[in-house]
Structure 1
Amino acid sequence: MTERLERTVFARLEAMGDVPLLWWKGEWWSVPRFLDRTRSCIETLERGGFGEGQRLAFMVPNSPLSLSLSLAAWSLGGSVAPLNPLGGGDLLLSTLKTLEPSLLVLPDSADQASLSASSGLPVALASLEGLLPPMTCRGGRRGAPSLAVTYSTSGTTGRPKIVPLSHANLLDNVGTALAFITALGPDETILNALPNFHAFGFGLCSVLPLVAGYRQIVLPSFLPVADALDALDAAQGTVVLAVPTMISLLCAAAARTGRAPKSLRTLLVGGDKVPLGLDEKARTHLGLPILEGYGLTECSPLVAVNRSYATRRLGTVGPVIPGYVYEVRDDEGRVLPEGSEGVLWLKGPSITEGYCDNPETTEQRFRDGWFDTGDVVRLDDGCLTLLDRATDLIIVGGFNVYPQEVESVLLQHPAVREVSVIGSPNATSGEVPKAFVVLQEGMDPPGERELLRFCRERLAHFKTPRKIAFVGELPRSPLGKVLRRVLRDEERRRAERGRG
């Protein structure tokens, strides 16, 4: 019988008995209480017509509901699609059109009228405590019963890029992570505060603890940080899985209050490059250094990690975890010797087979069984160092921002002739978008404030540029292609001069 997530999780939880499992809004939920809510979700979905191969989309924060919905959909042979509420209305509707789910679940505090009308979907408003109201699902798009979750991104052109992952993908990645990361023991309490539409948040903060039988501190939001500190204290949290921005904010809150959670044993950080100095800040204010890791949505997500404090190599993301075959290649696809800088290619059982309805991108990234990560790395003595993104992706506090999406908005302004957007170094969020704008001749030039306001009205907050520089021309290659790398290098030098 093929191994499935819900079978693995139910077997683990039922063997645990009547013990605490989820810390939610100041109290522990026992295993039986969580299982009762999950069985209720299964019954309600089944009565509503949800079945094998169908997709359940949800846009709810981390909660007992998000966990129960996932297990319920899997139990009925379906899959889940956690969605990003910060992505903007047009992107959300485009994603839903591509996914064709049978049902969309929103928090019972949401306004469903406009979304239901514009998407044509049945919408269920549910309590975050896991109470799902009666509903009727539509047929929707059916996929293989082996499909577990689909993640969506805006893609480099604004078209949703859908990443499907199977039960086998997730179970392989989670199982390998639990065996490989020796910093994790048999009895842990994990902070689940990363958004569940993020592969790091869903795969490692939600699924991994369920598979392992770990306790979870479930927070609908990491902010305000004081509440996260209080929850870690009250629930005796032992492991924080976070992006660097979260660690930075925890350090600042701990420094401000003069207290740090005494139960913490492990800080696992990924989703973005760890800024210089953050490790020392974590030591000073949280009493622990950082174990840095690296992953990609397409890989379910973990690829490499420093497995323990005894073996960690600061400045690297540690060794590639078992199960992957890896190569570092040059731009022509030639395999490079260890110590060389090149693009990381991977093979392994936790990697998706390709993107939904996107054969062009699938063909570009997946070749002869290999996956092109698009990341420039160096491998030294078995440890991986991330050097740069081969793509122009900007990561703001762990969230992906694609320059072309921001550029397309700025180009809608009548006074903008050309624009290029890069990531500008930022001490808090790692990077923030910065736009270099060439104005139309013969028009009244807009000020920076006007263009920023123009963007804020059309983009999610984290995608909106924080700075705009007006330039006479953009750097270009002999073929006329704008060279974002030149702009990034100049921006980094400018930032270094500012710190000097």
Structure 2
Amino acid sequence: MSVRLEEKIAHRFAGDPSQRVFWWKGAWEDAAETERKTALCAETLRLGGFQPGSRLAVFLPNSPLVLHLSMAAWRLGGTIVPLNPRGGTEWILKILHHVDPFGVVLGEGMEALTEAVRAEGIPAVEASPDGTIPPFTGRRDRAEQDPGVAVIFATSGTTGAPKAVPLTHENLYDNTKGVHETVEGFDRGRVLMNVLPNFHSFGYTVCGVLPLVWGLPEALLPGFLPLKNLFEGLRESRTGILIAVPTMLPFLLGVASKGESLPPELRYILTGGGKLDPGLEKRFRDQLGVITFEGYGLTECSPVVSSNPSDALRKTGTVGPALPSYSVEVRNSEGKALPRGEEGVLWLKGPSVARGYFRDPVLSAERFKDGWLNTDDMVRVDEDGYITILDRVSDMIIVGGFNVYPQEVETVIKELPGIREAVVIGVENPVSGEVPVAFIIREEGAELEAGTVISHCKEKMAHFKVPRKVQFVTELPLSAVGKVLKRKLREQMVRER
């Protein structure tokens, strides 16, 4: 019998309707109230024509409504698609046409985006994060409706085209079960802070779904900033475990060092979405008494792949062993499995791994083979199974935990007249981990300025994808076959610091 998340959650709620579920704006919502609001959302969707397999897209800040709508969609056999409202209108419309939703729910104050969505013929309504949703009629009988898919996460592919990852109820159940049962700190009843964006798989699954299924009350904040609100929320909710990306940690430490207090209950921070600085981890332990774990994951794996399991069993510099349900192989460029300790590409198989990409058989065939996923990450796995991430096979840049694909940024830059060539690389940054930097060769006689390039990118893309610096050059380092050697550009940036 297949797993259904809404059934697992309902069973837990029925056992104790008074249990705490969501902390929001200074007050706790219990299971009975969560059940009431979820039922109202489900009835509104049903009356609007929502069917098994229908996909509901949402552009909402972190709030209980995101999870009420998720559970409502699941009860009706449907799918939730959380999206980034700051992704840029052009990209947003591309991804909406790709996922082909029943309708769209947007947050308050998104009137311009609402109108742009409606102009494409897609039903859209705005809703308050404190309430439910207004009545609306959606689109029925969309293609490829699969009642087994719980959520679809959308990103830009390496070519800038939309890429969407459908994850099933079984995927999310297995992944949250693995984290709950093997990583220290995820004890039933411990308050977890949900502050990462819900359109990020790490934020949605570990911060949102895991607490609902496994009995951790969750405190919700619309976002990480302002930091004063975060510290107040941590204290008022008596948070015991914080899920974060590494770029958040220097801000937390800086504010704490100026006298802002953390709650005594906060014992653990689990990080993912970038490299954790061992020195920063030590400062959190020594100055604040907080244990910080580093994990690793990717959306195609629902998303957690591995984590240091406990303070006693941690290996600094690694991302820990894979969760128990994964099969792990390190392969060479020919696809041959390598012995432990050798460097190669990480391949994974298991019930957390997606079946493929939504409506993209070509990309699915490239990354998914015989149930195995090519992570495209270079790793080394030691004799105890602990994984060390060495580098990304691709040139993907990670900015504050979010993926940026250079080719997408390069395509946008090349829309401007007067550009002969544009190359984007990631450069290390102490705040965001990495930032995009663009190298541009201008056409002869062109007078293009850096500010023009940056302004154009800001209009077209999410803020984290915009190059922080533009360098105009007369040539680029090339290989014997004419490929730009981005490694040489990175080395140049290091020398120029």
Please give the alpha-carbon distance, in whole angstroms, between the structure 1 residues aligned to 2:484 and 2:374: 23
Hey, what does 2:42 align to over in structure 1?
Answer: 42
Offset of residue 135 of structure 1: 1.0
Alignment check: 8 A CA contact 1:377 1:386 kept? yes
Hey, what does 2:20 align to over in structure 1?
Answer: 20
Offset of residue 231 of structure 1: 0.4
The structure 1 residue matched to 2:441, chosen from 416, 438, 442, is 438
Q: Deviations over 1:29-84 (max 9, x none)?
A: 12211111111111111111112111111111111110100000000011111111
Alignment check: 8 A CA contact 2:88 2:459 kept? no
Alignment check: 8 A CA contact 1:306 1:312 kept? yes
Hey, what does 2:252 align to over in structure 1?
Answer: 250
Which one-letter code corresponds to 1:36 in the other structure? R
Offset of residue 187 of structure 1: 2.1
Hey, what does 1:484 align to over in structure 2?
Answer: 486
Query: After superposition, where does 1:439-454 map in structure 2 within 5 Å?
Result: 439-444=442-447, 446-454=448-456
Give unpaired runs (5+ residues) of structure 1: none
The structure 2 residue matched to 1:315, chosen from 311, 317, 329, is 317
Hey, what does 2:409 align to over in structure 1?
Answer: 406
Give the TM-score, by structure 1 length: 0.96
Q: Deviations over 1:439-466 (max 9, x none)?
A: 212333x333333233223322111111
Query: After superposition, where does 1:105-120 map in structure 2 within 5 Å?
Result: 105-111=105-111, 113-120=114-121
Query: After superposition, where does 1:289-300 map in structure 2 within 5 Å?
Result: 289-300=291-302
Alignment check: 8 A CA contact 1:275 1:430 kept? no
Query: After superposition, where does 1:141-290 map in structure 2 within 5 Å?
Result: 141-290=143-292
Alignment check: 8 A CA contact 1:55 1:141 kept? no
Query: After superposition, where does 1:2-81 map in structure 2 within 5 Å?
Result: 2-81=2-81
Alignment check: 8 A CA contact 1:54 1:142 kept? no
Hey, what does 1:132 align to over in structure 2?
Answer: 133
Q: Does the C-alpha gap of structure 1 residues 480 and 352 become closer, same or farther in structure 2, counting only changes over 3 Å?
A: same
Hey, what does 1:388 align to over in structure 2?
Answer: 391
Q: Deviations over 1:136-179 (max 9, x none)?
A: 11113351211111111111111101101101111111112111
Offset of residue 260 of structure 1: 2.5
Hey, what does 1:334 align to over in structure 2?
Answer: 336
- Name the SS of the counterpart of 2:258 in structure 1: helix
Alignment check: 8 A CA contact 1:101 1:141 kept? no
Please give the alpha-carbon distance, in whole angstroms, between the structure 2 residues aligned to 1:414 and 1:470: 15
Please give the alpha-carbon distance, in whole angstroms, between the structure 2 residues aligned to 1:119 and 1:218: 32
Q: Deviations over 1:190-242 (max 9, x none)?
A: 01011111110111100000001111111111111111111001110000011
Q: Deviations over 1:338-388 (max 9, x none)?
A: 111111001111111111121111111111221100001111232101111
Give the stretch that moved more between structures: 382-391 or 16-25.
Answer: 16-25
Alignment check: 8 A CA contact 1:260 1:287 kept? no
Q: Deviations over 1:417-444 (max 9, x none)?
A: 1111111111011011011111212333
Alignment check: 8 A CA contact 1:102 1:141 kept? no
Alignment check: 8 A CA contact 1:60 1:107 kept? yes
Please give the alpha-carbon distance, in whole angstroms, between the structure 2 residues aligned to 1:456 and 1:47: 40
Alignment check: 8 A CA contact 2:425 2:486 kept? yes
Which one-letter code corresponds to 2:47 in the other structure? R
Which one-letter code corresponds to 1:436 in the other structure? F
**Equivalent residues, number:** 494
Q: Deviations over 1:389-433 (max 9, x none)?
A: 111111110111110111112212222211111111110110110
Which one-letter code corresponds to 2:41 in the other structure? C
Hey, what does 2:495 align to over in structure 1?
Answer: 494
Which one-letter code corresponds to 1:136 in the other structure? T
Hey, what does 1:416 align to over in structure 2?
Answer: 419
- Name the SS of the counterpart of 1:457 in structure 2: helix
Query: After superposition, where does 1:306-385 map in structure 2 within 5 Å?
Result: 306-381=308-383, 382-385=385-388
- Name the SS of the counterpart of 1:385 in structure 2: strand
Alignment check: 8 A CA contact 1:62 1:220 kept? yes
Q: Sequence identity of aligned pairs in percent?
A: 46
Alignment check: 8 A CA contact 1:434 1:466 kept? yes
Which one-letter code corresponds to 1:115 in the other structure? A
Q: Tell me the C-alpha RMSD between the 2 structures.
A: 1.5
Alignment check: 8 A CA contact 1:254 1:285 kept? no
- Name the SS of the counterpart of 1:257 in structure 2: coil
Offset of residue 284 of structure 1: 4.3
Which one-letter code corresponds to 1:100 in the other structure? D
Please give the alpha-carbon distance, in whole angstroms, between the structure 2 residues aligned to 1:163 and 1:450: 34
Alignment check: 8 A CA contact 2:178 2:324 kept? yes
Give unpaired runs (5+ residues) of structure 2: none
Please give the alpha-carbon distance, in whole angstroms, between the structure 2 residues aligned to 1:464 and 1:312: 36
Give the TM-score, by structure 2 length: 0.96
Give the stretch that moved more between structures: 324-333 or 278-287.
Answer: 278-287
Alignment of 1:102 with 2:105, yes or no, is: no
Offset of residue 334 of structure 1: 1.8
Give the stretch that moved more between structures: 71-80 or 254-263.
Answer: 254-263
Give the stretch that moved more between structures: 197-206 or 453-462.
Answer: 453-462
Please give the alpha-carbon distance, in whole angstroms, between the structure 1 residues aligned to 2:433 and 2:114: 37
Please give the alpha-carbon distance, in whole angstroms, between the structure 2 residues aligned to 1:146 and 1:166: 5
Please give the alpha-carbon distance, in whole angstroms, between the structure 1 residues aligned to 2:446 and 2:117: 42
Please give the alpha-carbon distance, in whole angstroms, between the structure 2 residues aligned to 1:443 and 1:24: 53
Which one-letter code corresponds to 1:209 in the other structure? P
Alignment check: 8 A CA contact 2:65 2:131 kept? yes
Which one-letter code corresponds to 1:108 in the other structure? E
The structure 2 residue matched to 1:463, chosen from 462, 465, 488, is 465
Alignment check: 8 A CA contact 2:149 2:166 kept? yes
Give the stretch that moved more between structures: 253-262 or 161-170.
Answer: 253-262
Q: Does the C-alpha gap of structure 1 residues 258 and 206 become closer, same or farther in structure 2, counting only changes over 3 Å?
A: closer
Alignment of 1:397 with 2:396, yes or no, is: no
Alignment check: 8 A CA contact 1:183 1:307 kept? no
Alignment check: 8 A CA contact 1:38 1:130 kept? no
Please give the alpha-carbon distance, in whole angstroms, between the structure 2 residues aligned to 1:18 and 1:321: 32
Alignment check: 8 A CA contact 1:183 1:309 kept? no
Which one-letter code corresponds to 1:33 in the other structure? E
Which one-letter code corresponds to 1:433 in the other structure? P
